[in-house]
Amino acid sequence: MLKKPMRLEHKLDLSILVVFLSVYALFFIGNPGVFSRFDIYYSFMSTIPFIAILALSVTLVVVLGMMDLSFPSVLAFSAWVFGAVFTATGNMPLAVIACLAVGTACGFINSILVVHIGVPSLVATIGSMFFWRGAVNMVAQGRGISLVGAMDRTLFTVFVGRIGGVIPAQFIWMVLAGLFFGTLLKRHRFGTHLLFVGDNEQSAAMMGINVKLVKTIAFMQVGAAAAFVGILSTLEVTYFWPSQGQGYLMSALAAVFVGGTSVFGGMGTMLGTFLGALLIGSLEAGIISSGLSGFWIQFIYGLLIMISVSTYATMMRKRG
Amino acid sequence: MSENTDYEYLLEMRGVHKSFGHVNVLQGIDFHVGKAEIVALVGDNGAGKSTLIKTITGVHRPNKGEIYFKGQRITIHSVAQSRALGIETVYQERALADQQSLWRNMFAGREITNFLGLIDVKQQKRETERLLRESMGFTSKAITVDSQVMFLSGGEKQGVAIGRALYFDADLIILDEPTMGLSLSETKKVLEFTRSIKEHGKSAIFISHNFYHIYPAADRFVILDRGKIAGDVRKSDITQDDLVQKMENLARTGVFE
Ligand SMILES: Nc1ncnc2c1ncn2[C@@H]1O[C@H](COP(=O)(O)OP(=O)(O)OP(=O)(O)O)[C@@H](O)[C@H]1O
Ligand SMILES: [Mg+2]
């Protein structure tokens, strides 16, 4: 009897899991003292959610076979809106709503360029990446905004408080985002439509899927997610600064591709992205605590990405 | 909704034009499909057959002209709308997504969902399984509802596209080159199916280049030539040999006679 062949996506999920566990095994061997204590996980739980939520959200655009490079700039611009509105009004819910609205609007502008004007997404979002970074530099005049005044607000606790004094709230947000995006992609009508459009746009249109709407929503939700992470990362350090988010571009994209989602579109895995983000986010600390110097970090990043994407490419080629 | 049965034609097009840029693909099409009638749409490559049916299914919008369905003037804005009217289509391109599973392809664009939009995966799989085994007669154990379309043979892909159209009980079924690339036994199944459409009181538009497939299946032949209707004959008024002869004349002289 034929054994039921394993689906490619399950193989991808399995291999990222294997990579993840092996790297963590290496961390343990490298420095058992650090990796068997809670402290390092506490630090991971407070920093990794930022790139993880961004990566999960961008995965939806990648599933369409498209790209968004503007999210770090959108993050910074909407975080400035958050800081400015809060400083001006002292009204935190209003600042949150304004921030999310601006982020979503930035995503909508991307979608106009890509969907209606027909600019390739990579090119369009290089433009908007510079545009929003430039905008935030202009409005902020190079100055940061202190948000110390937000610390006694309930919403502060909801976003970045410490549950039971130990679990950073953003970690909960990350887990919720993982469940949300995982369900959205594989179990929701919108996710199926994304997969269809990313796989074969003409077929999708002939099957009555509103291709333009699907693409528009995909870009808008990245804007919203960037704004949301803008709030989290600003509140975590109670400070807005104009170059905020710049470090997230490559880490978030690396998480998506290390996770096994294909740049060609039509397939994607949120579990992969989630594990990819955990991996990318803990690599730096892992390398340093293993006793290697900081000069190794990018080298090992690069190695990990090259190995994982080569593995996936081989799997894709051999499938069937 | 009460069914209005008081209409002459199930579908009627009047003076429909469609152009892509400067290319006038359809130039004033008058065309109709009767109740329980199988209409064969024939014509050379590039005559505009697929474009014509895509203006009916909402993929393309006509630049000019009117379309009536069940006697009502309609403007079809979207594929979803034409489906809601009761028009199902098997496109020449098959309209499948290669990397997706059969159960996703079968319900593409009209998933079975709850009020939150979450897909009832179990039911979609169950229905797909039933279609595979019963309607499409897939026997291969290697094909399951979880199989990706890319692993299917050409004939199996068409089986999926046809099975999908059948599943959603429609009044007008459009088949664009349904027998292309099929084996003899698979072709026979498609032709039998086409006849069963009529028996159920439904109508069909059947596009094919193969007169041996079309002639037995159709009630009427509509000949499309470079974007215009060149002929419209009932099967009772023409033999298969005459039809083939006239089509050859059309190709040579530009006149269907
Ligand atoms: N989306 C489009 N954009 C531009 N031109 C198109 C488009 N679709 C079709 N055409 C052109 O319209 C003409 C008719 O195409 P159509 O597909 O309707 O022909 P057909 O009769 O179905 O041919 P075949 O028998 O080869 O399937 C062709 O010249 C084709 O190139
Ligand atoms: Mg055609």
Nearest CA to ligand 1 atom 28: B46
Decide: A81 and A102 in contact? Cβ < 8 Å: yes
pLDDT of residue A9 exceeding 50: yes
Determine the pLDDT at residue B88: 92
Cβ–Cβ gap A204/B110 under 8 Å: no
pLDDT of residue B121 exceeding 90: yes
Q: Which H or E element spans position A308?
A: helix A297-318
Span of B29-43, B77-91, B179-193 with lowest mean pLDDT: B179-193
- Ligand 1 within 6 A of CB of B168: no
pLDDT of residue A171 exceeding 60: yes
Nearest by Cα to A206 from B140, B90, B139: B90
State the ligand closest to the CA atom of B227: 1
Residue A33: other Cβ atoms inside 10 A: 9
Determine the pLDDT at residue A130: 98
Most confident option among A34-43, A131-140, B150-159: A131-140
Sequence-separated (6 or more) residues with CB below 8 Å from residue A81: A95, A98, A99, A102
CA dihedral B98, B101, B105, B108 (to 10 degrees): -110
Decide: A276 and A270 in contact? Cβ < 8 Å: no
Domain boundaries, chain A: 3-35+49-319
Nearest by CB to residue A266, choosing from B58, B89, B99, is: B99
Determine the pLDDT at residue A293: 84
Decide: B19 and B82 in contact? Cβ < 8 Å: no
Assess: ipTM above 0.90.
Answer: no
Specify the pairing of strand A167-168 against strand B220-225. unpaired
Domain boundaries, chain B: 11-50+62-99+148-253
Greater confidence, B164 or A224?
A224
> Mean pLDDT across chain B, nearest whole number?
89
Rg value, chain A, Cα: 20
Cβ–Cβ gap B150/A320 under 8 Å: yes
DSSP letter assigned to residue A297: H
Greater confidence, A296 or A106?
A106
Helix A248-258 vs helix A297-318: angle between axes, to the nearest 10 degrees?
Answer: 30
Nearest CA to ligand 1 atom 25: B45
CA distance A57 to A305: 20
Determine the pLDDT at residue B1: 46
> What band does B3 get if pLDDT is binned at 50, 70 and 90?
low
Nearest by Cα to A57 from A266, A221, A274, A189: A221
Please compute the mean of the pLDDT values over residues A197-209 and round it to a whole number. Answer: 95
Fold of A3-35+49-319: ABC transporter involved in vitamin B12 uptake, BtuC (1.10.3470)
Determine the pLDDT at residue A292: 83
Long-range contacts of B119-122 (CB under 8 A, 24+ apart): B119/A187, B119/A188, B119/A189, B119/A192, B121/A187
- CATH H-level superfamily of B11-50+62-99+148-253: P-loop containing nucleotide triphosphate hydrolases (3.40.50.300)
pLDDT of residue B246 exceeding 60: yes
Determine the pLDDT at residue B138: 74
Q: What percent of chain A has pLDDT over 70?
A: 98
Cβ–Cβ gap A199/B151 under 8 Å: no
Determine the pLDDT at residue B63: 94
pLDDT of residue B255 exceeding 90: no
